[in-house]
Chains A and B, each alone.
Chain A
Amino acid sequence: MSHQPSAISHVEGRGLPLPGDDIDTDRIMPARFLRAVSFDGLERHLFEDDRAADARHPFNDPRFAGASILIVNANFGCGSSREHAPQGLARSGIRAVVGESFSDIFQGNAAMLGMPCFAVDRASAAQLQALVEAAPDTVITADVATGAIAAGSLTVDASLPAALRDGFLSGQWNPTAMLLERFDEVRAVAARLPYIRGFN
């Protein structure tokens, strides 16, 4: 939450495999937990309904406790724009997500929290999930600059949108200060827009 975030060159930690396509933000953070005026404590409700329905849900599995890299499949974080979903993940210790694809809004929200979403192909996601399932203690290193994800003897290639990648590397992933920096230019654009000028 710092005003001037620090650079993120890589994320290192153990993995947590969460298989399945189209895992929506209602599943990540059910709507009733958005009934609050702060993000505090959201980590307690992460996947709450999925976890209650399945004792073997990866977030219930003690082998993955303390993991910091979530490994998912396609279209992760689809649906609602609720930042409560990546907030809950971040507050539970997740610092990066590796998966086949992400919804645009989720990826943007995660970036604002300094949480890179690395895109890998389907085979790589499956390999990483299988590896972590078999050897949960494996330390994974995800390199923001090169997109290389190393896990034991396995290395796979990942990608990040260029602007987000550069933002992580330069420490400018939280843009508010930048947006305020040259405010005369903002005022100039506003002054040119016909609807702001009353179409005069």
Chain B
Amino acid sequence: MADTLFHKVWNAHAVRTLPSGQTQLFVGLHLVHEVTTPQAFDMLRQHGWRVAYPERTFATVDHIVPTSTQRRPFLDVMAEEMTSALERNCRDAGIRLWAPDNENQGIVHVIGPELGLTQPGMTIACGDSHTSTHGALGAIAFGIGTSQVRDVLASQCLALDPLKVRRIDINGRLGRGVYAKDVILTIIRRLGVQGGVGYAYEYGGPTIDAMSIDERMTICNMSIEGGARIGYVNPDETTFAFLRGRRFSPAGDAFDRAVRWWREMASDRDASYDDRVAFDAAAIEPTVTWGINPGQSVAVSEPIAADPHDEALAFMGFAPGARVVGTRIDVAFIGSCTNGRLSDLEEAARVVRGRHVAPHVKALIVPGSQAVRRAAEARGLHEAFIDAGFEWRGAGCSMCLGMNPDRLEGRQVSASSSNRNFKGRQGSPTGRTLLMSPAMVAAAAIAGEVVDVREMLDPVPA
């Protein structure tokens, strides 16, 4: 019977129906980081439980690591304590950890795909809501809380209810200067920040088919910002080409057998969905958020349409009907699990070459992983950024969230390639975040204010 990837993966990993009616679901890949796990390991110890499948859990350090220098011990005593706790827990349990001094360290959602750990048809869980990122490779991947991390460590399973599936088609071609980030911001704006509650989002259609894995990851990453705990793209030739030759990918004949299974797991052409929506790619413009949730966005030159009494307007300092274009910025941040990959840095570098960051702007480039950093340096991107006045940092979550030394101060305005514009998200309770694509952040850094990046890109040859 025709079915979706979501249901095929769910059924392949269902152990049994629990007395509560929930499904006991096997987790194929468990990723952990330093913030949401120490309590889980403590709970395991309290109960005398062992880690059931240590070889199916992988760990790294990303949220609290400083990105200016990663020399140990960290000056930040708590960052050092949290990192040491993870090192101890992983050593005791036999879990592989890529610590800050390891060449594979990076943001957990960047390194999973990069190392080939993330594969189609898997169930993937991590104590982080942006685990939906891994769906770009055709996995069913979702964020969990610390008590659930405990459950996965103890049993490699979770007790869950299945989700409904909404198919989201993107048709047509994106215009110049319009990126995956603009697509997902537009989706969230239309469907709402809670439109995806109870759903997994399946993204498809010609625009998605034409996208790289990096671009698909940007889209799947922000599914949770639209309320959908899971977002995925069916595996295709782009997926298989991405996975070939990666460290944890199957090799040799096993790769060919894997591709056959991965193809079978993709949604069938005549699968039915609980809901379907479609978007016209050509109508999507460079998009920026103006408010305090990721659904509050507009095309960069479009007036903000909001209730004049909306608390978001007052917090952000926008008058009703104002435009975001022209907003002076203090900080430009390019990085995060949403947009901290090589292709993001390449797009940003295209904008900054031969230009300079405005004198009043603090501008950071934070590669999503040490491998991204090395690849960017091999292409000379770091020189383009440094010459333009950007700081070139080490790998980590950095200014996406206020857990490490990279933070906004006071009411600073940040142009950010990250995923959340919540009040206080970037580390200052009164700081203001404008979410946009990495190319748009680069353009804002140069101009010192929000601009339409299309004005800075070379014209398309006739």
Contact: B257 with A24, CB < 8 Å?
no
By size class, the interface of chain A is 35 or more
Contact: B161 with A163, CB < 8 Å?
yes
Contact: A193 with B229, CB < 8 Å?
no
Mark out the residues of chain B between 7 and 55 whose CB falls within 8 Å of any chain A CB in the assembled complex. Answer: 12-16, 18-22, 24, 26, 28, 35-36, 38-39, 42-43, 46-47, 49, 52-53
A53 within 8 A of B: yes
Specify the chain A residue showing the minimal Cβ separation from B315. Answer: A53
B129 within 8 A of A: yes
Contact: B13 with A175, CB < 8 Å?
no
Which residues of A sit under 8 angstroms from B28, Cβ to Cβ?
193, 195-196
Contact: A113 with B147, CB < 8 Å?
yes
A52 within 8 A of B: yes
- Contacting chain A: which of B79-87, B104-112, B370-378? B79-87
Which residues of B sit under 8 angstroms from A189, Cβ to Cβ?
13-15, 26
In the complex, A127 Cα to B56 Cα: how many Å? 49
Contact of B81 among A24, A37, A109, A179 (CB under 8 A): A37
Contact of A78 among B53, B193, B402 (CB under 8 A): B193
Q: A35-B79, A37-B38 are in contact. Are A163 and B22 (CB under 8 A)?
A: yes
Q: A101-B197, A105-B144, A195-B28 are in contact. Are A166 and B20 (CB under 8 A)?
A: yes
B314 CB to nearest chain A CB (Å): 11
Contact: A199 with B402, CB < 8 Å?
no
Q: A79-B420, A163-B20, A175-B159 are in contact. Are A105 and B143 (CB under 8 A)?
A: yes
Specify the chain B residue showing the minimal Cβ separation from A20. Answer: B311
B90 within 8 A of A: no
B191 within 8 A of A: no
Q: A78-B193, A101-B197 are in contact. Are A167 and B85 (CB under 8 A)?
A: no
Mark out the residues of chain B between 307 and 331 whose CB falls within 8 Å of any chain A CB in the assembled complex. Answer: 311
Contact: B155 with A167, CB < 8 Å?
no
Contact: A34 with B403, CB < 8 Å?
yes
Which of A50, A75, A166, A185 has its CB near the most chain B CB atoms (within 10 A)?
A: A75
Contact: A186 with B157, CB < 8 Å?
yes
Which residues of B sit under 8 angstroms from A102, Cβ to Cβ?
197
Contact with B along A17-45 (1 / 0, CB 8 A): 00010101011001110111111000000
Mark out the residues of chain B between 146 and 185 whose CB falls within 8 Å of any chain A CB in the assembled complex. Answer: 146-148, 150-151, 154-161, 163
In the complex, A109 Cα to B143 Cα: how many Å? 11
Contact: A22 with B293, CB < 8 Å?
yes
Contact: B18 with A178, CB < 8 Å?
yes
Which residues of B sit under 8 angstroms from A103, Cβ to Cβ?
194, 197, 227
Contact with A along B436-462 (1 / 0, CB 8 A): 000000000000000000000000000
In the complex, A35 Cα to B36 Cα: how many Å? 10
Q: A1-B43, A105-B229 are in contact. Are A82 and B194 (CB under 8 A)?
A: no
A107 CB to nearest chain B CB (Å): 9
Q: A1-B43, A109-B147, A180-B155 are in contact. Are A193 and B198 (CB under 8 A)?
A: no
B78 within 8 A of A: yes
In the complex, A174 Cα to B158 Cα: how many Å? 11
Contact with B along A60-86 (1 / 0, CB 8 A): 000000000000001100111111101
Contact: B39 with A39, CB < 8 Å?
yes
Which residues of B sit under 8 angstroms from A83, Cβ to Cβ?
36, 39, 127, 145-147
In the complex, A52 Cα to B423 Cα: how many Å? 13
In the complex, A178 Cα to B23 Cα: how many Å? 11
Q: A75-B194, A104-B229, A186-B156 are in contact. Are A176 and B36 (CB under 8 A)?
A: no
In the complex, A166 Cα to B156 Cα: how many Å? 23
A124 CB to nearest chain B CB (Å): 18
In the complex, A19 Cα to B229 Cα: how many Å? 24
Which residues of B sit under 8 angstroms from A84, Cβ to Cβ?
146
Which residues of A sit under 8 angstroms from B64, Cβ to Cβ?
35
B358 within 8 A of A: no
B254 within 8 A of A: yes
Contact: A32 with B402, CB < 8 Å?
yes
Contact: B159 with A179, CB < 8 Å?
yes
Which residues of A sit under 8 angstroms from B163, Cβ to Cβ?
104
Which residues of A sit under 8 angstroms from B229, Cβ to Cβ?
104-105
Mark out the residues of chain A between 169 and 192 whose CB falls within 8 Å of any chain B CB in the assembled complex. Answer: 170, 172, 174-176, 178-180, 182-183, 185-186, 189-190, 192
Contact of B258 among A74, A82, A199 (CB under 8 A): A199
A152 within 8 A of B: no
Q: A26-B423, A112-B148 are in contact. Are A38 and B42 (CB under 8 A)?
A: yes
- Contacting chain A: which of B91-99, B347-355, B424-432? B424-432
Specify the chain B residue showing the minimal Cβ separation from A39. Answer: B39
Contact: A78 with B194, CB < 8 Å?
yes
In the complex, A178 Cα to B158 Cα: how many Å? 10
B138 within 8 A of A: no
A44 CB to nearest chain B CB (Å): 16
- Mark B residues whose CB is within 8 Å of A: 12-16, 18-22, 24, 26, 28, 35-36, 38-39, 42-43, 46-47, 49, 52-53, 56, 63-64, 78-79, 81-82, 85, 119, 121-122, 127-129, 131, 142-148, 150-151, 154-161, 163, 193-194, 197-198, 224-225, 227, 229, 250, 254-255, 257-258, 261, 293, 311, 401-403, 420, 422-425, 427, 429-430
Q: A30-B429, A75-B197, A174-B147 are in contact. List 17 more A-B contacts (CB 8 A).
A: A22-B194, A24-B422, A31-B425, A35-B35, A35-B64, A78-B227, A81-B128, A83-B147, A163-B21, A164-B20, A178-B24, A179-B151, A186-B24, A186-B52, A193-B28, A194-B258, A198-B250
Sampled A-B contacts (27; CB under 8 Å): A22-B193, A24-B420, A26-B420, A26-B423, A34-B35, A34-B36, A38-B42, A53-B430, A80-B129, A83-B36, A105-B129, A108-B145, A109-B148, A163-B161, A166-B20, A175-B22, A176-B151, A179-B24, A186-B155, A186-B156, A186-B157, A193-B26, A194-B257, A194-B258, A195-B261, A199-B257, A200-B254
